[in-house]
A and B are shown apart, each in its own frame.
Chain A
């Protein structure tokens, strides 16, 4: 096991800059999730660790050793591929034994390790099958098994559960996290699904268009996003963003839009007045679960809107409300509103301490 460090790493493909000046440290034994939409450079970063892509600029360190020019086979890093990449001509046993055979382990040791790993992954009965005889979930387990037998310096996962169905994905999240915690192997996990990052990672590194946006624990990223983009990328349903203008009133600050006026809490008002907003334009972020709904207007529910759609989800429902030209999602207990007809009037309330303010031009959060 080892720590991993990116020092000003760039990846360029001809004209495209896939990864721009990435600086990131993964601690020994840490589960780090590289998160971002497709094309954000997360896979390129992972493949540079594995040695499957050249590093255009900068260094990648494994512990304190620079591994830029090391061939993949000499890096002692194991990787699970998105397509599983099982060896089609080999049985499950041979797939898992392959990396061990190269390391010249004894036959008994190989046999012992493969069977033990197979038992952890519950694929013992599949050992004599070939990949073409396996379901997607089984292939994925074999692919994981092939890296687990090795006890490498680090695990790399490239969207390993993206192609499984939703139920199996939910279960595999738990299993992967459990396995990683028991083995304590440094892990870099690439995904576009924020839920996987939130639920499994010790820390998340969120990338967009090759630029690292924020690194932090899931809690930090969720509760203190650095900018609008991270705020709306993490969380489901996503954070609502409202456009407003900051104005002075009654000795404090308010955010004003045609449909509503929001009093800005004192602490954030102070931050906002020291921030240099362009034309006083601000974006207000509020998570669906920080909003409340009422059928009648009262002091707690000052913002008037109309129902656009209601999505019941068992015990809660997502209410899609139209306020002016904006659409706002509200996560609320089932039965909060009696009239779910389209265009029925509803009133929104918010918890002032749960509001986020972003510079409308730069997108940076103001705390």
Chain B
């Protein structure tokens, strides 16, 4: 029987029989992995449906992957091999040409031999990452303000921000061109970064607001009462919106990475990005299909990697923010 020095209570005074405080161990262990779907007895009808669905998905996978396959193999084929036609009626030869060839890296070497392609790649990375970072930083703070703040015209402001996304890209290209021209930003990377941010920021605000809405305000209030400033409280709840941030980062990078029109109109030579550079391989002297395929591979690969790395958060991010638990 000890006496609590701070409260002066004896331990045994507050010892009360409490069945609820003792969560039995088995309450906390994860149960056997039973999926409700496993227990559904499947009838004949659903088996046929299963075959149909599998067949459809199989076709869909082929449909999706074949272009990639052709792009990748063509990038490693010598130019004559890529366009070689099998004799008429020789189906075996046609199929073997899809799979059997002697790989060469000549197109990749040719691509980078110009000495400029690395720069285009860097431009793409800088434009995409910078615009994504700006969008995430300002998107987070703006979304937080819209989610938490109480001010007049909040709904209108929110709608206005989303509505800026409704205009098609071409509609803002010309005005932006004029603006950038006045600010002497044409043919610079900042122009591209700004242009991408124009489109990414509303999107980031929109997604992140949903995430902040799903985080209980009382958690931040608890942080503030505990002794944190509002900024610190916001920083503390960032892990709770991390899936949203991941989704925003990826989608912002994708938009910038895949953009052609802004880069073509405003980028010029100084801020040429991969899509524009690839298009440039189609010149009056001929179309460098091998190099175009190699450029395609170089363009697609980083995004594939990014998608794989961040895929878990993205799926969560795209569903969780919208659906209120």
Q: Residues of A with Cβ closer than 8 Å to B?
A: 13, 50-52, 71-73, 75, 77-79, 81-83, 85-89, 98-99, 102-103, 113, 116, 119-120, 122-123, 125, 129, 133-135, 137-138, 141, 146, 168, 171, 175, 178-179, 182-183
Interchain CB contact (< 8 A) of B15 among A78, A122, A171: A122
Q: Which of B11, B16, B223, B240 contacts A171 (CB 8 A)?
A: B16
A99 close to B226 (CB less than 8 A): yes
**Residues in A neighbouring B7, C-beta threshold 8 A:** 120, 179, 182-183
Contact indicator A52/B221 (Cβ below 8 Å):
yes
CB nearest neighbor in B for A158: B218
Q: Identify which of A71, A81, A123 contacts B21 (C-beta below 8 A).
A: A123
Whether a CB of chain A sits under 8 angstroms from the CB of B28 is yes
B6 at interface, CB cutoff 8 A: yes
Query: A164's closest neighbor in chain B, by CB?
Result: B20
Residue in B closest to A175 when the chains form the complex, CB atoms: B14
B319 at the interface (CB under 8 A from A): no
Q: In whole Å, how far is A69's beta carbon from the nearest beta carbon of chain B? A: 15
The answer to whether the Cβ of B236 comes within 8 Å of any Cβ in the partner chain is: yes
A52-B225, A77-B225 known; A138+B23 contact, CB < 8 A:
yes
Complex interface: chain A residues within 8 A of B223 (CB)? 87, 98
**When the two chains form their complex, are residues B23 and A72 in contact, meaning their CB atoms are under 8 A apart?**
no
Which residue on chain A has the smallest CB distance to residue B21? A122
Is A102 touching B228 in the complex (CB atoms < 8 A)? yes
User: Contacting A137 at CB < 8 Å: which of B21, B224, B229?
Assistant: B21
Q: Are B224 and A52 in contact (CB under 8 A)?
A: yes
B88 within 8 A of A: no
Decide yes or no whether B92 CB sits under 8 A from chain A. Answer: no
The answer to the question of B283 belonging to the interface, with a C-beta cut-off of 8 Å to chain A, is no
Of chain B, the residue at the smallest CB distance from A75 is B225
Chain A residue nearest to B28 (CB atoms) is A133
A103 neighbours in B (Cβ, 8 Å) = 227
Say yes or no: B225 contacts A89, CB within 8 Å. Answer: no
- Are the CB atoms of B14 and A50 closer together than 8 Å? no
CB contact between A79 and one of B22, B150, B222, B230 (< 8 Å): that residue: B222
The docked-state distance in angstroms from the alpha carbon of A86 to that of B225 is: 13
Chain A residues whose C-beta falls within 8 Å of the C-beta of B216 in the assembled complex: 83, 85
Q: Taking CB as reference atom, which chain B residue is nearest A76?
A: B227
Which residues in A have their C-beta under 8 angstroms from that of B226?
A: 73, 78, 98-99, 102, 146
In the complex, the number of residue pairs spanning A and B with C-beta atoms less than 8 Å apart equals 100
Does any Cβ of A come within 8 Å of B325's Cβ?
no
* A77 and chain B: residue at smallest CB distance: B225
B87 contacts chain A at the CB level, 8 A cutoff? no
- The answer to whether A87 and B219 touch (CB under 8 A), given A116-B6, A137-B21, is yes
Q: Looking at B221, B227, B228, which has the most chain A CB atoms within 10 Å of its CB?
A: B227
Give the residues in chain B near A50, CB-CB below 8 Å.
221, 225
Q: Does B9 contact A (CB under 8 A)?
A: yes
Residue in A71, A77, A81, A138 whose CB lies within 8 Å of B20? A138
> If the complex has contacts A87-B219, A133-B28, are A141 and B21 also in contact, measured as CB distance less than 8 A?
yes
Residues in B with CB closer than 8 Å to A113 are 6
CB contact list, B1-52 vs A, under 8 A: 4-9, 11, 13-16, 18, 20-23, 28
Known contacts A116-B4, A178-B14; is A87 also within 8 Å of B236 by CB?
A: yes
Chain A residues, Cβ within 8 Å of B240: 88-89
Q: Which residue of A lies closest to B9 (CB)?
A: A182
In chain B, what residue has the closest Cβ to A50?
Answer: B225
A87 close to B222 (CB less than 8 A): yes
Instruction: Determine whether B239 belongs to the interface, using a CB cutoff of 8 Å to chain A.
Output: yes
A137-B14 in contact (CB<8A): no
**A88-B240, A99-B226, A119-B11 are known contacts; what are 5 more A-B pairs with Cβ within 8 Å?**
A72-B224, A85-B222, A113-B6, A138-B23, A175-B14
Taking CB atoms, residues of chain B closer than 8 Å to A75 are 225
B221 partner residues in chain A, CB cutoff 8 A: 50, 52, 72, 79, 81, 85
- Chain B residues with Cβ below 8 Å from A183 are 7
Contacts of A178 in B (CB 8 A): 9, 13-14
List 15 A-B pairs, Cβ < 8 Å: A50-B221, A52-B221, A75-B225, A83-B216, A88-B219, A89-B240, A102-B228, A122-B16, A122-B21, A123-B21, A146-B226, A168-B20, A175-B14, A178-B13, A182-B8
CB distance from B222 to the nearest CB of A (A): 4
